[in-house]
Amino acid sequence: MQIVLATHNKDKIREIKNLLTDLPVEIKTFEDFPEMPDVDETGATLEENAILKSNAINEYTGLAALADDTGLEVDALGGQPGVYSARYAGPGCSYEDNCNKLLEELKNVSVERRGAAFRTVIAITWSEGDVETAEGIADGIITSSKQGVSGFGYDPVFYYPPAGKTFAEMTLDEKNKVSHRGLALLKAKELIKTHLKNI
């Protein structure tokens, strides 16, 4: 079976491929479909955005499509940036821009109020009208400065207490065992295995 990843983000593709390598599926990406469209994330929730993307890429490619949408929900900011995490610092912003804006917003916030949750929703569209979703959540604390050089996005400022380090200080394997995307993908893997049994 073939599954196409509904993203142009090479960092996400690397993480997703790493977790799905042991499945008897062929993973396709935008490199196999050079004209694959970028899907506007117009949903009000992570789930809506993930489904929008997986539906659109399923329709475009005719293959099962897997999409994720991820948000960082910060307690002191009332759950923001949430669904706007990727474009928190404005259109065309970089990972660094987003981290810098977040650190600036929290510069006078005590450590007790710097709690945050990373949330990922994965949607798999098998065919038109046949969609399944899975969710993963990781709880942590926003640091006062960037720490670590691995990972991407908000990883350098997301401290994960059980590991005693930020996501950016972890190897890919370490991160995938505990991260929001890793946990969501483990659930998605079970959905894929069940689907394979039924075809």
Contact 159, 165 (CB under 8 A): yes
For 75-86, how does the pLDDT look when each residue is reduced to its tens digit (9 = 90+)? 999 999 999 999
What domains are defined for the chain?
A: 2-197 (3.90.950.10)
**pLDDT value at residue 106:** 98
Rounded distance, CA 114 to CA 77, Å? 9
CA 121 to chain centre: 7
Rounded distance, CA 63 to CA 86, Å? 26
Rounded distance, CA 141 to CA 74, Å? 9
Of 11, 69, 75, 97, which one is the catalytic site residue? 69
* pLDDT band with cut points at 50, 70 and 90 for residue 180: very high
Is-catalytic flag, 130? no
Structure tokens at 110: 């005590």
